[in-house]
Chains A and B, each alone.
Chain A
Amino acid sequence: MQVDEFLRNAVLELKDVDESKLVPEVTIEALELDSLDFVELQLGIKKTFGVNVEPEVFLDGTVKTFGDLVNYIEGRLPQPVAA
């Protein structure tokens, strides 16, 4: 599953948001995710993609938008081992 699709489905499970508003520019703050939401996202991302998203990335400005989060995860996907 693509990262964008996974995150879109995950956020729609967590919050009653209009799917059309889940664009790369929407801020994480605008999604109004609470601590339990972040726990669920963190677990789902780790389980699905093997990427650990620490809460600090949301606090220190590394990840500000939905698009930032997609890029953050994609940039840390485990690389396939060469044969």
Chain B
Amino acid sequence: MDTFAFEWPEVAHWAHFSGDFNPIHFDVESARQAGLDDLVVHGMLALLTVKREVSRTLPRCEDASRPWLRFHALMRSPVPHGAASRLVLQPGRRGALDFRVGADRHNVERFRGSFGPCARPFDGARWSDAMLDDVRRFGHDDLTFFTRSYPAIREGWIALDALVFSDFMRHRLDEVAHAARARLADMAGASADVFFVQTSHSVCFDPEALGHPGALALACDELRCAMGRPEVLASSGQVIGTVALPVFHGERPVMQVELGLMARPRSPSH
């Protein structure tokens, strides 16, 4: 498989699973107000395919100094509904696999990134008890919904990443949106209706904990996900930032998801 595309039913299904009902995926007028030519596919939906392919292609690497794995994707341009994308994999630096996803027939880069070994990102002092007070837990129903929706994906880390993202969209995005609106209002001097765009997605995970297909099901009851304080910058009429979402199995860190987000004022309707 080196080309893939997503049509309306798949987009709707991902929205139902993830809780991402951003109107740019469903309403043409909203998409155009966001500066897009047409409806676009969720970046996270398109990345499911990439994650699966890189996960199955990366050669095994034994490096005690880099025992975790890191998937990192930059979302460069939107993927229109029904548009074919082409995935290219090539060896990268330090044992990683680089990937590029482009429009099938045009020289447009949609995603770029890498998948490979990394050091554990966790600094024990960073995640204070205060942050871990507000933790979310996942249930078997959440996992079952994902595995039934996407039976071709057997990798535990991909499923958990999707659950973390879905939980963020449903339960934590409002907090981030409120902060972004306040920063934009400071810049623009007025209350701003904003739209969000995801600019990047990173997942670092412990393959020992999550690598094999059954691992996630075994761990589900004891998984906790926290949210770090967003790193936010106001720049050039927009607010950019990252949100870290560490995941623990009991007391053991097993994954860290990091979302890159950009918030802009929505253009007024004509």
Q: Does B236 contact A (CB under 8 A)?
A: yes
Cβ-neighbour of B74 out of A14, A42, A46, A54 (below 8 A): A14
20 intermolecular pairs with C-beta atoms under 8 Å apart: A13-B72, A13-B112, A13-B113, A14-B74, A14-B112, A19-B93, A36-B74, A36-B76, A39-B199, A39-B240, A39-B262, A40-B199, A40-B260, A42-B233, A43-B242, A46-B231, A46-B233, A47-B231, A47-B242, A55-B235
Beta-carbon contact of A43 and B74 below 8 Å: no
What is the number of residues of chain B that contact chain A, defined by CB distance less than 8 Å?
A: 18
Q: Does A62 contact B (CB under 8 A)?
A: no
Q: A40-B74, A42-B233, A55-B235 are in contact. List 10 more A-B contacts (CB 8 A).
A: A12-B93, A13-B112, A36-B76, A39-B199, A39-B240, A39-B262, A42-B240, A43-B231, A43-B240, A43-B260
- Known interface pairs A13-B114, A43-B242, A43-B260. Does A36 touch B199 (Cβ–Cβ under 8 Å)? yes
Residues of A within 8 A of B113 (CB): 13
Chain B contact residues: helix, strand, loop or mixed:
strand
Q: Does B200 contact A (CB under 8 A)?
A: yes
Using a CB–CB distance below 8 Å, which chain B residues touch chain A?
A: 72, 74, 76, 93, 112-114, 199-200, 231, 233, 235-236, 240-242, 260, 262
Residues of A within 8 A of B93 (CB): 12, 19
What is the number of residues of chain A that contact chain B, defined by CB distance less than 8 Å?
A: 14
Chain A contact residues: helix, strand, loop or mixed:
helix
B93, closest chain A residue (CB): A12
B-contact 0/1 string along A35-51, CB 8 Å cutoff: 01001101100110000
A83–B72 Cα distance when bound, in Å, is 39
Residues of A within 8 A of B233 (CB): 42-43, 46, 52
Beta-carbon contact of A40 and B200 below 8 Å: yes
A52–B236 Cα distance when bound, in Å, is 13
Beta-carbon contact of B235 and A13 below 8 Å: no
A37, closest chain B residue (CB): B74
Residues of A within 8 A of B199 (CB): 36, 39-40
A19–B92 Cα distance when bound, in Å, is 12
Closest-CB distance, A11 to chain B (whole angstroms): 12
A9, closest chain B residue (CB): B93
Closest-CB distance, B262 to chain A (whole angstroms): 7
A42–B199 Cα distance when bound, in Å, is 13
B-contact 0/1 string along A15-32, CB 8 Å cutoff: 000010000000000000
Residues of A within 8 A of B236 (CB): 55
Closest-CB distance, B62 to chain A (whole angstroms): 22
A12–B93 Cα distance when bound, in Å, is 9
Most buried by B among A14, A43, A46, A55: A43
Beta-carbon contact of A42 and B235 below 8 Å: yes
A40–B202 Cα distance when bound, in Å, is 13
Closest-CB distance, A41 to chain B (whole angstroms): 11
A47, closest chain B residue (CB): B231
A34, closest chain B residue (CB): B76
Residues of B within 8 A of A12 (CB): 93
A37–B233 Cα distance when bound, in Å, is 15
A57–B74 Cα distance when bound, in Å, is 24
Residues of B within 8 A of A39 (CB): 199, 235, 240, 262
